[in-house]
Amino acid sequence: MAGYTLSALEADIRSYTEVDSNVFTGAILARFIEHAENRIFYDAPIDAYRYVSEGNFAVDDKTLNVPGLGSKGNTGTVFVRGIEVFTSTANSEGEGTWLQKKDQTYLSEYVNELTGTEGGSTGQDVTGFPKYYAMFGGATAVSDTTSGGMYVAPTPDATYRFRIYYDMIPKSLVTKTSGTYISQYFPQGLLYACLTEAYGYLKGPMDMLTLYENKYKQELQKFAGVQLGRRRRDDYTDGTVRIPIKSPSP
């Protein structure tokens, strides 16, 4: 499968649009590419951007930071898919318990019911093994791990081991110039998304903008079909995929 490096994608964008580097500078193309990558990220669930992070709760601390910048070179957590907590404080071995995701108001009401109080917080708290979690502050951790996170209830009474399952926006081709997952496994979609950005910037021709927008959507259906279908099933559990082919009428 022929993928894209940054220089190859820039060359194709200029070639397809017949616009040279005096107009489509590296800085402008970088914006096209970043916008296209973000569009693909939100248009299709991509397995390559799923991550798992482990840690330990702090005793009597009901907040939990989302995973931030790290060795993966990503920009930060976009959304959390689940939190698994273990009775052990040393490791994540054994069967874990999945926390139920709720709204902050639900957690507040839950704590008040356990403490026998009404009308809001009274400074009292309930400790124990966590059961619920709720997001706060956007929970994106774009620049650090204090910009958002989760509340848990009850407040941990021990340093239980936890595992967070989450999605992150990957490092862009603009900075990882040799190639990314999208540029290697969905190069045509990335190109068409960039060309849509390019013709929008050029204010037309509208027929070319429509052409590449439709091409992007067609390729996106195939790519999403692989991500949601074939990558999340196997022949033993789900059976072999069979596509019916109509035979010609006699």
Please check whether residues 23 and 55 belong to one and the same domain.
no
- Is residue 247 domain-resident? no
Domain end call among 168, 188, 223: 168
Domain end call among 168, 196, 216: 168
CB-CB contact of 124 with 117 (8 Å): yes
- Is residue 95 domain-resident? yes
pLDDT of residue 75: 57
pLDDT of residue 93: 75
- Is residue 237 domain-resident? no
pLDDT of residue 130: 94
Domain end call among 143, 168, 193: 168
Please check whether residues 12 and 110 belong to one and the same domain.
no
Please check whether residues 113 and 158 belong to one and the same domain.
yes
Which residue's structure tokens are 């709204």?
Answer: 103
- Is residue 238 domain-resident? no
- Is residue 206 domain-resident? yes
pLDDT of residue 8: 97
Please check whether residues 76 and 163 belong to one and the same domain.
yes
Q: How far apart are CA 109 and CA 55, in angstroms?
A: 27
Please check whether residues 142 and 160 belong to one and the same domain.
yes
pLDDT of residue 150: 87
- Is residue 246 domain-resident? no
Q: Which residues pair with 232 in a beta bridge?
A: none
pLDDT of residue 239: 67
pLDDT of residue 92: 74
Please check whether residues 62 and 155 belong to one and the same domain.
yes
- Is residue 240 domain-resident? no
Boundaries of domain holding 13: 6-46+171-232
Please check whether residues 61 and 160 belong to one and the same domain.
yes
Please check whether residues 57 and 139 belong to one and the same domain.
yes
Averaged over successive runs of 10 residues, the pLDDT of the chain (250 residues) comes to 90 96 96 96 90 92 77 66 90 85 90 64 73 77 56 93 89 94 95 97 94 95 83 68 69
- Is residue 244 domain-resident? no
Please check whether residues 77 and 150 belong to one and the same domain.
yes
pLDDT of residue 210: 95
Please check whether residues 39 and 105 belong to one and the same domain.
no
Per the structure, the count of domains in the chain is 2
Please check whether residues 76 and 103 belong to one and the same domain.
yes
> What pTM was computed for the model?
0.78
Please check whether residues 155 and 86 belong to one and the same domain.
yes
pLDDT of residue 194: 97
